[in-house]
Amino acid sequence: MPTISERGVIMPSSPIRKLTPLSNSAKARGLKVYHLNIGQPDIPTPEVGLDALKKIDRKVLEYSPSEGNKSYREKLVSYYAKYNISVAADDIIVTTGGSEAVLFAFMACLDPGDEIIIPEPAYANYMAFAVSAGAVIRTIPSSIEEGFALPPIEKFEELINERTKGILICNPNNPTGYLYSRAEMNQIKHLVMKHDLYLFSDEVYREFIYTGSPYISACHLVGIENNVVLIDSVSKRYSECGIRIGALITKNKDVRTAVLKFCQARLSPPLIGQIIAEASLDADIDYMQDVYDEYVERRKFLIDRLNRIPGVYTPIPMGAFYTVVRLPVDDADKFCEWCLSDFEYEGQTIFMAPASGFYMTPGLGKNEVRMAYVINKEDLGKAITVLEKALQTYNNLPKE
């Protein structure tokens, strides 16, 4: 029988989805499963987006331009201006989700064997995109004790060599919820300038910042405009994960030219998704404020409840809608599996993402999980009660 590719062998499984079969089995047994594993908000999509979908009146659902509809890109210019990000429509390439934007950025900017540096824990699919592009990820651990702040810049310097081509950050961060400060972003800027690196910046959670600290985009950093490749998506902003519309934004014409070749090879981003995303830019201010307020409440509620459980600790996330939680268990992977396969409390159980899948350094995150507070407060409360009961039961099991 033919063998699969080495790339297929080393491609990592998603820590967010790998336990889905166990979750499905738990549901088949009649259990209520609380999903804290995945960033799929339960927030309603804006009515203007749904209305645009319902009112589509076309005789042909045609290909869109490979770079995306011009009307949508022009409308995005005004959206970014609200965040003091000055771009032209031609700086924006519409992608099939933020995921494709990351993949095409890697394909356009990195040769096989080139290295990029990423603080960890990091969004697990970055590793998968790097494998797809033949690139090598070098990671620098951040710590839960320090709230997952940017590691010392000297640690980055230690990893830079002749194959280093870029740094990737997610700000606000998935999976930690950390928000990089102006001082930290300036440290990154100076490193990028010194070594002439790309700065890939995933900023899909900019709407969700819960502190008085300002949002500092990579596009705000003066002097590295041609080094920055911004990654964006409507998935979280408008609760539109399923329409698969993202964007790659850069002032670097050579990068855009290269990315467009990959866009042409895949023909076009989703037409229907662009129609919905363009309409959603008209969502009124009340919609966005209500969504923001809801996440603020969920965040406060979840963090307070978690840190009251004996042996559990999580820092206060400053953005996005995730938090990494340290649990009083030896192996969070096994615990998460056990919660779905062997545990129930009053007909309920909980689905969490083991944090080890967000680290590349072996052994890190072994007693941590990522939780997404994307379900309503009542269900969040029930989920945390289930977690507390599960920890009590698990830690009283006979040791193997």
**What are the pLDDT digits (tens) for 83-131?**
999 999 999 999 999 999 999 999 999 999 999 999 999 999 999 999 9
Q: What whole-number distance in Å separates Cα of residue 150 and Cα of residue 183?
A: 10
Tokens of 183: 């001082």
Give the pLDDT of residue 13: 78
d(CA 392, CA 91): 53
- Specify the amino acid at residue 295: Y
- Kindly indicate the confidence band of residue 400, based on its pLDDT and cuts at 50, 70 and 90: low
Domains assigned to the chain: 6-44+286-394 (3.90.1150.10), 47-280 (3.40.640.10)
The per-residue pLDDT for range 276-314, each reduced to its tens digit, is 999 999 999 999 999 999 999 999 999 999 999 999 999
Q: Which residue has the tokens 């989703």?
A: 270
- What's the average model confidence in pLDDT over 205-231? 97
Residue listed under structure tokens 């590719």: 5
> For the chain, what is the radius of gyration of the CA atoms?
21
What does pTM read for this prediction? 0.96
**Cβ(283)–Cβ(46) below 8 Å:** yes
Dist. CA 85–CA 101, nearest whole Å: 18
Integer Cα distance of 335 and 328 in angstroms: 10
- 336-367: pLDDT as tens digits: 999 999 999 999 999 999 999 999 999 999 99
What is the identity of the amino acid at 314? T
Q: In Å, what is the CA distance from 13 to each residue of 38, 39, 337?
A: 14, 17, 15
Give dist(CA 72, CA 255) in Å, integer: 21
Torsion sign (Cα): 288, 290, 292, 295: negative
Look up residue 145 and give its amino acid: E
